[in-house]
Chain A
Amino acid sequence: MRMIQPDFRIVIDQEKCRKCGRCSFNCGFGALRFSDRVIPEPEKCAGCHRCVSFCPEQAITVELNPLAFRPNDNWTPGHIKAIYKQAETGGILLTGMGNDKPYLIINDHLLLDACQVTNPSIDPLREPMELRTYLGRRPEKLEFKKDAGKWKPAGPPPSTLKVELPILFAPMSYGSISYNAFQALCMAAKELDTLMYTGEGGLPKELYPYGGHIILQVASGRFGVHPESLNIGVGTQIKIGQGAKPGIGGHLPGEKIPSHISKTRMIPEGTDALSPAPHHDIYSIEDLRMLIYALKEATGYKPVCVKIAAVHNVAAIASGIFRAGADQVYLDGFRGGTGAAPFITRDHLGIPVELAVAVVDQRLREEGIRHLGTIVAAGSVRSAADAVKLIALGADAVAIGTAALVAMGCHLCQKCHTGNCSWGIATQKPELVRRLDPEWAAERLVNLVRGWEHEIKDVMGAMGINAIESLRGNRERLRGLGLDHETLKILGVKPAGAPMG
């Protein structure tokens, strides 16, 4: 007897199939057996479309298993299957990728402004548009002195990080993703002249040449953190929390720690890489300040970013983070992705990044400390439109994780935690990893971001804005459609139809 029925049904058109076996070879989950013909084992199918993509005859269809439970809006198939699984195992249910539940998506209820008649729009194809962004602390004041009849800055320039566009690559650890995927992100970050965060798994030595585009993460497990790795990047990031699993630590299972991961993380092969839930040297804002300055001392005062999950009290926490000396706060919304998280934390903890950005920006302005640092927003930036809206809500830049994976071939099958990724992205199995060509993946990442860059310039032009700086926190150019009064108030956005001023 089988209590849990497959999610998908694999249909092979036996007329078209020429029995080449490619589908069977390509499936990382072993859902297509081959013995003189293809025999589907749908209970193993993740719905990742690798077989479909590689079938030369287009003979494979993967469809939702139409097997129906009696319709019940309360007891959904998801609830029922979860109970079956837990009744069998007694375990915590794990999943990958971001929250997929039908919560309200605020970005889909925000509309951008455009110029008509009374103010001219700008054609980005003809006129320069400025997307260059400086990340980090702005000085309290600028001092100038007269030198040989000319006014010159009195002190050294502020130590900010320059990126050519406000799209960064989100931290996805080497370990949760493959070497080839990780390398592709490094290559794309360099090509685009932007930055990538490493995630908790450190930076493999062979990728040190990309250091000028790397921010190394220091998380509670401190994996791969030593003076050399800390100094190879342009800054460091303290990870406190992650949008998909606020308040809990990380757990890279021993199966995903072969020798090369073990080398970078500096832990024995095959042991679990456990990141404790808190940093045990951080129990307060004062303690956070201690780690921030310990990192600054160890890196010759390179900027420090603090990454937190967007949670209910995020504005006060972010204020504390800036006051503690951080140069960037990275807000990860509740839809942010993950290589592995319990369903319960992924689907039920945290708040949307749109709200987090709006309240943090507002709070920092009210306290007169917005200049102390940069807000980086992440947690499901699906398109250039999402990026523009988050910047208009107050973010300085956005970071993309899932979108980057999708560009590299990810089909959002949500099985990252199994380590069987057929696309060679979220796996450490050498035979799967080598499927992903870093050059090919890097090119696709660059294409994606270049496409978004053009789109951002297009809408900026439509709004008559020629520098992204003028869009930051410019909520007057946003309107809400179908959002309730309280939410609009928190966002600081007027309802659609409300006039300017």
Chain B
Amino acid sequence: MENIMEVGREVLIPRREEEKVIIDARDVHYRDLNGQIRELAQEGASRIELGNVNGQRYLGAGLTEKDLQISIHGTPGNDLAAFMDGPRIEVFGNAQDAVSNTMNSGKVIIHGHAGDVLGYGMRGGRLYVRGNVGYRVGIHMKAYQKQAPVIIAGGTAGDFFGEYMAGGILVLLGLERKPEEKIVGDWVGTGIHGGAIYLRGEVERHQLGKEVGIAEKIPDQEMKELTALLQDYCREFELDPEEISDKPFLKLYPFSARPYGKLYAY
């Protein structure tokens, strides 16, 4: 990390260290930065490290290189990994809004907090956030065949968590909560018609959308899959899986795959 901070402005040209390409993003416009990343990706670079990132948007947008790994030091701007289909992005810092917007596949790891509208229309891949997430997270996530998106956030979430959700898995761990602090805001799962939400904490009925059911029990097979996901999450953040499994999970599910089927008259 330190050596990237040291390189300063001169190193607009990426510096190569064995298999790693290092770019100093200080004062670089997002268009130039993204252009450079795309160029490197197309040349077959497998590891790109970005230093001094400060609000540059659309990092990784539309990238499709499956073996590419990008690590970001600093704070990437909105729409990180939008439309992305394959690569892995790791952020050592906080992220802003709309991370993994309409993402198809790949993995995004955020070591800090992240903003609103994460994973909107996400169709596959994984988004792990170590800290808290904002409003409207996981809106209209959807699954298709083997593709199922997963978002796991370590802290709390704001209102409209999983709104319009059509598929995939949303997990909220509520770690390091203050006493009395709610794990999630209101209007959870409003309009949900697919997928599942797992909360490691309590939720009151009035916090949920009217389309949301609370499962009495999580089936064993499902719990196994959830545990596997959590182990992967813990691996990424060097957490102890035991710490997470000390509290039971609550499963929220949609009452119907067609919540508005009876709304219309023909």
> Does B83 contact A225, Cβ atoms closer than 8 Å?
yes
Q: Which of B120, B257, B266 is close to A417, meaning CB atoms less than 8 Å apart?
A: B266
In the bound complex, residues from chain A placing their C-beta under 8 Å from that of B261 are 253-254, 272
> Does B120 contact A222, Cβ atoms closer than 8 Å?
yes
Other than the given A90-B265, A274-B166, 16 more pairs (CB < 8 A) read A86-B265, A91-B265, A93-B265, A222-B102, A222-B123, A254-B261, A267-B144, A268-B167, A270-B257, A276-B164, A276-B191, A280-B140, A297-B61, A298-B61, A298-B62, A298-B83
Q: How many Å lie between the Cα of A495 and that of B147 in the bound state?
A: 61
> Does A294 contact B79, Cβ atoms closer than 8 Å?
yes
> Does A266 contact B123, Cβ atoms closer than 8 Å?
yes
Evaluate whether A230 and B83 lie within 8 angstroms (CB atoms) in the complex, with A225-B102, A253-B261, A290-B98 already known: yes
In this assembly, does B117 line the interface, its C-beta being within 8 Å of a C-beta of chain A?
yes
**13 A–B pairs (Cβ distance < 8 Å), ordered by A:** A88-B265, A91-B264, A225-B102, A226-B83, A230-B83, A262-B144, A266-B123, A267-B144, A268-B144, A272-B193, A276-B164, A281-B98, A295-B83
Chain A contact residue count (CB 8 A cutoff): 44
Q: How many Å lie between the Cα of A227 and that of B104 in the bound state?
A: 8
**Considering residues A89, A94, A267, which has the most beta carbons from chain B within 10 angstroms of its beta carbon?**
A267
- DSSP majority for the A interface? mixed
Interface size class of B (residues with CB under 8 A): 35 or more
In the bound complex, residues from chain B placing their C-beta under 8 Å from that of A227 are 62-64, 83-85, 104
> Does A85 contact B265, Cβ atoms closer than 8 Å?
yes
Interface residues of A (CB under 8 A from B): 85-86, 88-94, 218, 220-222, 225-228, 230-231, 251, 253-254, 262, 266-268, 270-272, 274, 276, 280-281, 290-291, 293-295, 297-299, 342, 417-418
Q: How many Å lie between the Cα of A267 and that of B136 in the bound state?
A: 21
Q: Which of B62, B64, B117, B142 is close to A299, meaning CB atoms less than 8 Å apart?
A: B62
Evaluate whether A266 and B144 lie within 8 angstroms (CB atoms) in the complex, with A91-B262, A91-B264, A271-B257 already known: yes
A361 to chain B, nearest CB (A): 30
In this assembly, does B132 line the interface, its C-beta being within 8 Å of a C-beta of chain A?
no
Interface residues of B (CB under 8 A from A): 30-31, 34, 57-58, 61-64, 78-79, 82-85, 97-98, 101-102, 104, 117, 120-121, 123, 136, 139-140, 142-144, 147, 163-164, 166-167, 191, 193-194, 257-266
In the bound complex, residues from chain B placing their C-beta under 8 Å from that of A91 are 262-265
In the bound complex, residues from chain A placing their C-beta under 8 Å from that of B167 are 267-268
In the bound complex, residues from chain B placing their C-beta under 8 Å from that of A89 are 265
